[in-house]
Amino acid sequence: MPTTTKKDYYEILGVPRDADLKKIKAAYRRLARTYHPDVNKGDKSAEEKFKEISEAFAVLSDKDKRTRYDRGGHEAFGQGFDPFAGFDPRSSGLGGDLSDLFEQLLGGGLGGGRRGRRGRRARRGGDLEHEVRISFVDAVHGATLEMIIPRQLACVDCGGSGQQRGSQPQTCPQCGGSGRLRQGGRGIPIALTCPRCQGSGRLAAPCSTCGGTGRRRSEQRVKVRVPAGVDDGSTLRLAGRGDAGMAGGPAGDLFLRVRVEPHPRFRREGRDIYRDVEVGLADAALGGVIAVETLDGTTSIQLPPGTRSGQKFRLRGKGVAATGNRPAGDLFAVVQIHPPKKLDARSRELLEEFRRLNPDTSP
């Protein structure tokens, strides 16, 4: 009678044989979310894959079973071996982010999860992303902005429950109130979310205002503080400002992607700002005091005689504003020597005399 060769457990989870328990858990999390039957309804191949990775994890997450497997492979276990014997997700150390997943695997054996009012399962609201454009000056100094964000808010009429006020929830006849429908098969038992009550275990008349969703689409004014020195492309997170949760669940987060508008005269490198400054021939050759525009107003600098084009002069503290333990940046005035476009006869005569007395000796 032909025998079926079982795949290597490490290969199933996609981890090396020396992977620690942390890497094994992370691999199982990723694969379980991908192949769970609730995510792949009606897909038998995904169901078989899910059973396969669950069996691999049940063995490799158990110190004694893993030791036996490493020594002898599948042959180390006798006929009729149950890889799930003694396997308890609650003590596996996977943490809260898979509590819903294990509840589906074991049919609610972990206590049913958190539920909102009237038995509906509380669900976290979705995260939102929004792009915000700010000026170069606001990015340097920081600013408080107000914007209108479209988002899902909790329905006022039903308080987010999704059920008509005054209606009495009844036990779901399809799942008998468990919220799960068990599926048989070899290996770990699988309980899928009941399609009729959506896992709540109870049925009630839906709210006429929100249609049973517990939420309504609206626009909300949001105030956000943009920190000084924010970079173009940075993301700001506003906790709890995403879509409202369902059945009392927490709201999602709002992520703002910052776009900084360029400035016609200033440019930025890190926390420093650069500004080109036009200087005439006489001031560059003889030196003198020139005015320099900064983001805070106009100041002046002293040019030494013989200043060259491209030479930089530092104005300390005139760059990006200080934030926390980070000091303010500097502003660099970059000299750009500009000769006059038009010369009168006397000026031309003087320059000709200057060239005769100071011949160009550069290579």
Does the model's pTM come out above 0.75? no
Of 73, 78, 162, 69, nearest to 121 by C-alpha is 162
* pLDDT at site 86: 58
Topology adopted by domain 9-113:
Helix Hairpins (1.10.287)
Q: Are 87 and 62 contacting, i.e. CB atoms less than 8 angstroms apart?
A: yes
Q: Could you tell me if residue 211 is left (phi over 0), alpha (psi between -120 and 50 degrees) or otherwise beta?
A: left
How, if at all, do strands 266-269 and 235-238 pair? unpaired
Considering the domain 266-357 in this protein, what is its CATH number?
2.60.260.20
Residues ≥6 apart with Cβ < 8 Å to 335: 277, 279, 284, 303, 307, 308, 309, 310, 311, 312, 313
Give the up-direction half-sphere exposure of residue 61: CA atoms within 13 A in the CB hemisphere: 27
Please state which architecture CATH assigns to domain 128-169+204-260: Sandwich (2.60)
Q: Where in the chain is the domain with CATH 2.60.260.20?
A: 128-169+204-260, 266-357
* pLDDT at site 111: 38
Q: Which residues of the chain have pLDDT under 70?
A: 1-5, 38, 78-80, 82-122, 182-191, 196, 198, 247-248, 361-363
* pLDDT at site 362: 57
Tokens representing 133 are: 């454009």
Integer-rounded Cα radius of gyration of the chain: 35
* pLDDT at site 188: 53
* Cα torsion 100, 104, 106, 112: sign: positive
Q: Where in the chain is the domain with CATH 1.10.287.110?
A: 9-113
- Return d(Cα 138, Cα 143) in angstroms, integer: 5
Q: Which residues pair with 297 in a beta bridge?
A: 294
* pLDDT at site 50: 86
* pLDDT at site 255: 94
* pLDDT at site 37: 75
**C-alpha to C-alpha distances, 305 to 77, 175, 281, nearest whole angstrom:** 89, 90, 11
Q: Is residue 113 packed enough to be buried (19+ CB in 10 Å), middle (13-18) or exposed (0-12)?
A: middle
Q: SS3 for 58-84, per residue? A: HHHCCHHHHHHHHHHHHHHCCCCCCCC
Q: Is residue 222 packed enough to be buried (19+ CB in 10 Å), middle (13-18) or exposed (0-12)?
A: middle
